[in-house]
A and B are shown apart, each in its own frame.
Chain A
Amino acid sequence: MSPETATANNHRAANDAAPPFIAIRHVGKTFTTLRGDQINALVDIDCAIGEGNFITIVGPSGCGKSTLLRILAGLIPITTGRVEIGGDAVTGPRRDIGMVFQSSILLPWRTVLDNVMLPAEILGIPKAQARERALSLLSMVRLEGFENKYPQELSGGMQQRASIARALLHDPKILLMDEPFGALDAMTREQMNLELQRIWQKSGKTVVLVTHSISEAVFLGDRVLVMTPRPGRLETVIPVKIARPRGLDGMATPEFGGITHEIRRLLKQEGTIE
């Protein structure tokens, strides 16, 4: 369970000597329920994420994967340990993070363009500049022509693409995604996985994506963090050495099957999958 220093297939060479871009050091999180009970959501999570990496976190419900993501986003404080991004301890929400949630959370009273420009208003980015960037992001997520539509007029997949554009508006270094495609049907989901890979390769962001789909985790990740519940622990980190860009056909290869099988076996061992 030691943090891996060199990552195979990283599209940027990892430097062994430098401190990792995102360092998660012995992080623990304990919630207290209203009745006063203590619940260990996360226990001793320790890993490092290199800049430009695509990391996926997979595990069953209740393993604390979403909690870990919210900790990285600075939305909830940790109980023990330390999280560092670019050498600074994370104490609250940061400007260099963009978040994508399970639902697109587009505001229904704003057009798609105004939704994508929301971070600019919060962070005080000049409007003209934000508008230009928003339009180019919308074309990157293949939503050109939908700028002046309202979110309700878009399909679920389009809404989620708009929310990805919004997360990238302020050009964050890190994209945190919390089961972003969980609410989509299987076909749309596969298309979105391809899209996301393309967007990631184009933008060069560091992506941390939480999912409960093993195949999604393997398809997208440079490394897959496998987590197990009760209490939430980092079971193991599995490198995925499949060349990019990966296609959907790649899912049928023995290599892909071997990795997904390995993850399934690990989770089964822990009694979390029947």
Chain B
Amino acid sequence: MAGMSGKRLQKELAKIQGILPPGISLVSADDLREWQMDLTVPDNSIYPPDEKYRLRFHFSTNYPIEAPEVVFMLLSNPERKIPLHPHIYSNGIICLDLLDKQGWSPVHNVESVCISIQSMLASNTKAERPPGDAEFVRSNRSRPRDINFLYHDPTV
């Protein structure tokens, strides 16, 4: 099992170090279990075109059978904010069916997840946090994969 995620990640990394779609870049993958990626969002006035957002991927040994844990990071140097979006909590947790048991497919990879999140931001029209953000951020103690999100809004 452990061998599987290792090999797959090696190959993904090799591919990512070659070429990536515009606005997506690899920051670090020193530890094969945890990668960091930077994103920019094109063509959406909610997000300044030069503002970068930092994603952290955490892979279990079961990857890619199991989805990676993907969250936005809040950093001061370099400055990385949590993008404003009705499905992204202010602690960086993303509510996206792709990252959940039901929506995940082992065919997905780091690149496809980045593209999905990038397009989720690009098509966003509401500069707001999810309802109940403050309460969730204060009380949530579980890992993103153990949260039961309700994907009630397929349009955003």
Q: Say if A and B assemble together.
A: no
